[in-house]
Amino acid sequence: MPSPKLREMEINLNKVFALYAKLYYSNPITSVYLWDLGERTIEDGFAVAILIKNNVTLEKDINDGSWDSSHLCTVKFGEGKDVSYTLISTIILQMAFNSGTCGSVNLSGNITKKVINLTNNTTIYY
């Protein structure tokens, strides 16, 4: 269980991402989880995981499909106003459709990206 400050932020972020997902996806399921990185205080840093799943069935030309995304961010506080974070995002996409030109097609793939922003304003992309 996260510290009280993080738990309150977790509840609010679950509401926000549920609304966000409804704007962009047809049938979304979302979950947001937060946890402390130190001794149960937000000042020691924290992590957040944002998960979005969307299943599509018979929409336009798509017979079946899914979108699964996970985003993991760790936030650490330095001296003064310095903050560093690491963000890792993974998206898995799967679609099945019938095309007059191609016939029956099953398509799937994934991508993972990592961004590190250090306290000295250095950003590293992977």
| C-alpha span between 110 and 107 (Å, rounded) | 11
What stretches of the chain show up as alpha helix (H) in DSSP? Answer: 4-24
Q: Order of strands across the sheet with 83-99?
A: 28-36, 46-59, 62-77, 83-99, 103-117, 123-125
pLDDT at 103: 80
Evaluated on CA atoms 6, 9, 11, 16, the torsion sign reads negative
Token pair of 12 as six digits: 């609010």
Write out pLDDT tens, residues 97-124: 877 777 888 889 999 998 888 766 666 6
> Do 92 and 68 meet the contact criterion of CB atoms below 8 Å apart?
yes
Write out pLDDT tens, residues 4-48: 889 999 999 999 999 999 998 888 999 999 999 987 677 889 999
Class of the CATH domain delimited by 4-125: alpha beta
pTM above 0.85, yes or no: no
